[in-house]
Structure 1
Amino acid sequence: MRTFFQGITHFYRNLRLQTKLTITHLVIVTIPMVAIPVLFFTQLYDMIVADTVRKEQEAAIQTAPMIEETVADILAVHGTLTEHEFYSKLINPARVEDLEVFADSEEAKGFRKEAESLAGDGLIRDIRLYMDIPDDGEIFSDSALSPLAEPMDRIRRTYWYGIFAGEPSTSRLFCPSFYLGTYEKSTYGDMAYITRGRTLYEGRWVTFYLAVYFSQEHLDELLKNNMSSNSSVAYIINNRDSMVATTDIALSGTYHFSYDVVLESVMSSNNFISKNILGEDVYAGFNRIRNTDWYMVVAVPSEPLIQKSRIFIGLFGLVYLGCILASFMIATLLSRSLTNRLSAVIDQMSKCRLGLPAALPDSDAQDEIGDLVDSYNYMTHIIHDLVEEQAKAAEDLRIVEFNSLQAQMNPHFLYNTMDMINWLSQQGRSQEVTMAVQKLSRFYKLTLSRKQSLSTIQDELEHVSIYVELLNMRFADNIDFIADMPDCLMERPIPKLTFQPVVENCILHGIMEKEEKEGTIVLTGWEEENGIVILISDDGVGIEPDILENILVEKKNRAKSSGTNIAVYNTHRRLQLMYGVEYGLKYSSTPGEGTEVEIRIP
């Protein structure tokens, strides 16, 4: 009997892992109630989605007429003003002999009082009439129309004025908050309905704008008060894809639908549709606001719905906890042969946190765990080889960085700078001596600060700018250095001493080789899909093709080459060791015209 059980045990241990898992699953599926929560979860999620979408549909159907009613109120105020006798005469210049006299008439006074009575602390905040006539006229300072009328210069720099000026066919415009100028928003209101008209002034046609200012808060409150769920967001956009009002500015930005997408998605029934935004399913509905170019968008993200269904299924799952525990106990007993051996592998792999991994003894079984042990041992050997290669690469990088730093700390540069300082001192030019000493001190402070191997593009620009300034003190400002770097790249990390050897090479072997000993160096940069590109160009003598093709090639007898060439090669090699062979320096040059150096980093 003992021999029989030993044979069964040996047979089971040598079964393939898939066979063992199949046996375990057969035991689990004998408990049919496990499938019930899964089925219930699917149905529950569909029920929650359907119920939430239905509520949002009802809320949207109720909210859209309220917004349309608000728009109607605004249009009614505007209509009252445009139907006034003063406005009728204003747009019919044949009935007005002199605009300034007409602006001080009883009709103008009545128009102003009508406007003042329509504006207040409610929806309509203020009303203004902007006229394109000289701002020193009596219309604006001493007339019956003042202070309702204001000069056009008050609003010429606003976004809405630019729209009217750029689109002659546009005669009316609902303006969101950012269309208005700062003065308008702080004094009159944060939204406006504006129409354009024309009248005659001193024999020429002039443009005027009637602006009815109202409160965005009113629209925001309408949207918020009629939302049925805190997890959804409602907002209004216009045909310029501008946000008019929203219940949550952050969520409306996340679940933003462009105006073109809204137009494509709108159906006559205004049913909700499903869209995928940033990898998340979103249920969205659209309602057109009549008499405007607005659409109300209601977006319901699926994640809160999923969370809600998970809470319900969690509570429901407690009922089946006992059955599931029984199934797990059976599965654990059947998989013990797996877990014991897997634990041995896991324990050995856990030791990797304290040091390099060590190989396991060869497995006596030929199932998947035995294959896992063999793969782990093979991986261990590979890791040891990689650690050795990494150590060698780190040493190579250290040597290259040392050589690069050594090349930068050119003693001739220091001697020449000190000699220049001595000459300035003998000339009694103490202010220039102080400036030179400060710049030299700052230059070597940036060069010798080795606490970290990385700097920022901003620090590297400062370093190379100081270097050029010191050389210009020697060369009578014959070198123009222009740096044009986007602000968004200034804080990006870059290895120290990357710019200076390239710029030094441009000066010594480019500009100083010219007969006039003067020239320009331009340093600029931009961001591409695969990394950052920094371009350094000069108008020096250029580089001959035979030298150009070998400038970044390692030479065994490089000691005979110039120091700047060594520094350039070391800079290129250092970038490749740090980031990979696809990064580093790239030279291009036209003899007699100049050289461009492209520095590419991640």
Structure 2
Amino acid sequence: MNTEAKKRKKDVFNRVPLKKKLVLAYLLLTMIPILVIGIFVMQIFSRSLKEKLSYSAEQGFSQTYDFLAYRFSKTSDTLNQFANSDMIQRILLKDLNDYGIVEQMSDMLDMRKAFEDARNGEDVDRVRIYVRDELMYSIDQIHLFGLNSIESTVWYRYLQEDADQILGCPYSWLAEHEKTEKEILSLARTVKSPNDYRKVIGYLRVDMDKGQIDEILNKANAAKDAETYICNGNGEIVAGTGKGKIPKEAWETARTAGFQKAYMEGNAVLYRTQDFENLDWTMMTVIPYSSFMREITALKNRFLVCMILFSALVSVCIYLIGKSITDRVGLLAEHMKRVQSGELTGLEPDESTDEIGVLYDNFNYMIEETKALLEEKYRLGKEVKNAELKALQSQINPHFLYNTLDMIKWMCYAGRTADIERAVASMAKFYKITLSRGRNIVTVRDELEHSREYVNIQNMRFGDRITLKVAVPEKLMDVPIPKITLQPLIENAILHGILETEDETGTVTISGAVEKDSMIITVTDDGVGMEEEQISRLFSASEAGGSGSSYGIRNIRQRIRLLYGNDSDLLFTSRPGEGTEVKILLKQGKNNTMQP
């Protein structure tokens, strides 16, 4: 079974054209290494570019974090400075019973001046202090505020729960009356009594411009679709860019250095987090994996396009090389097929000196040698046919001569002097044309004259029972034809056709015509006709066993094929009782200019 399968595969392979085999082999030998090397190089470039992008994203994140950490640290220092200020603590600890309006106004101005001096528009947008509502300056509403204004806010509640922390306040935690078109972020803490650290005597809050922080965060984005935020411990967005979506894994897993991979709404993302020291804030960058890989994908696409173009170029080159080889081999194969069909034409000389060029030269040499051999064979065959023709003549002459002389002898006994004279004259003409000065090729006119003399002599023997009709156009009279072509056909028509009828009389008609590139001479009789089997025996009878006429007919066929080609032939058509028609088909343009 395996042997059969292998044989079928081998047969299929052997039926594939050489051009396809060469192209396929070249493609396999070139494209596979190219693809392997290309994939290897692409992986190296991709890994290098990925590392470069990761480093760039890490650098952008680290620089932004360091800058914001520094700003938040300075803001925290400002907050702590005021919370631990002796002046602030002293003012907030004063007893209301001994605290006059003039003194309160003086303290308000002192605190306002200190807060104004701390405001620089970059790190600190405003300093706020929240004091007891009983104090006159609690209605300042610029830097000094009453506690009742923040009692309902989130950040105030968180500071009450943990009075020791520095609390980061998002914009959403502010009281409604504090919100303006300009959004802010704040750091807040309590102010404690220096005499009792468990006692809170006020609340301080330092505001920062959120727009500036958003702008800084935006610079940390390493990719177009990246988003960078500041979040608090509850996962709430404090500041940042984009849609504000946070990967769940960012809060459920431990903080690690570097970017991590996660999935958000089914899409892969890279995220990086880092907490701010002493704050419940975390900086986070989220990069869609597709954006991070965009440059790598673009590189791969460019590389793929280059590979496709290079592969196409290689394929075209391989095809042209294969075509240059197989076309020459195919041309050689085509000429070999022509040689098989008998067309001995050589190839155009190939200037190439490679193996195919040598093969071309050897093929042309073989063709020339074959032509020489065929010409020699043709010459020898022609000599053989001429010998056969002479043998036919020697066969005809003694037999026909004996019958004719015997007829003349009986005419002498009968005293038929005129008939003797006519018979001798016809016989002289007949043999003159038969000999034709040694020529083997005569004209149609000569052959017709030869036939007339033959029929005249036969009519003398058989009492004018044979009628000969000639209907050959004048334009065919001078066309060359092998000698003794018509006489054996007429002899066959008389002896085996007409003389075998009941009344032993009949007509032989010779006609001629031109059809396309052929000359056709037709010999028709109205004798007894023949069966198909008789016609077959006529052409297959052996030289020893066949009659003289059958030998002559075979000889005619062989000679016209030799002289005019295999397309020329003798065509017999006959039915018993209806006579026989013989067509001599001679292809013109090949040997119609033969010389005797």
Task: Give the TM-score of the pair, scaled to structure 2.
Answer: 0.43
Report the structure number with the largest CA radius of gyration.
2
Structure ranking higher on relative contact order (CA contacts 8 Å, 6+ apart) = 1
TM-score (norm 1): 0.42
